[in-house]
């Protein structure tokens, strides 16, 4: 079982985020907006099942998964990719 991450988290800083987005080939307009945001995260964890809510003035995003199991992450609205992810 992963460490307990339950709680409400506030972003303080995000170093080199624009370079990361550029490496992912995210378009310049979305990169500039994303770089200005400081989204909060709400993490709800029950054993290996996690729900991570990213909350910002631009867009809210919810990701739900079980640790160690592959799932599809839909990045519609960011760069319109769908990725198979395992955490």
Per-residue pLDDT of the chain (87 residues; tens, 9 = 90+): 668 899 999 999 889 999 998 998 888 988 898 888 899 999 999 999 999 999 988 788 889 999 999 998 887 766 677 888 888
- pTM given for the model: 0.77
Closest C-alpha among 11, 5, 31 to residue 20? 31
CA distance 69 to 58: 29
pLDDT (0 to 100) of residue 74: 82
pLDDT (0 to 100) of residue 61: 86
**Where on the phi/psi map is residue 44: left (φ > 0), alpha (ψ -120 to 50), or beta?**
beta
CATH architecture type of domain 7-86: Beta Barrel (2.40)
pLDDT (0 to 100) of residue 60: 87
What are the φ and ψ backbone dihedral angles of 36, each rounded to 5 degrees?
-80, -20
- Residue 9 tokens, joined: 């988290």
Q: Where are the alpha helices (DSSP H) in the chain?
A: 17-23, 28-36
pLDDT (0 to 100) of residue 57: 84
């Amino acid at each position: 079982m992963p460490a307990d991450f339950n709680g409400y988290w506030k972003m303080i800083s995000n170093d080199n985020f624009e370079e990361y987005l550029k490496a992912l080939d995210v378009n310049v307009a979305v990169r500039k907006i994303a770089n200005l945001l400081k989204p909060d995260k709400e993490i709800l964890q029950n054993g290996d099942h996690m729900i991570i809510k990213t909350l910002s003035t631009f867009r809210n995003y919810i990701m739900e998964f079980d640790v160690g199991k592959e799932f599809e992450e839909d990045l519609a609205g960011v760069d319109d990719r769908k990725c198979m992810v395992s955490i």
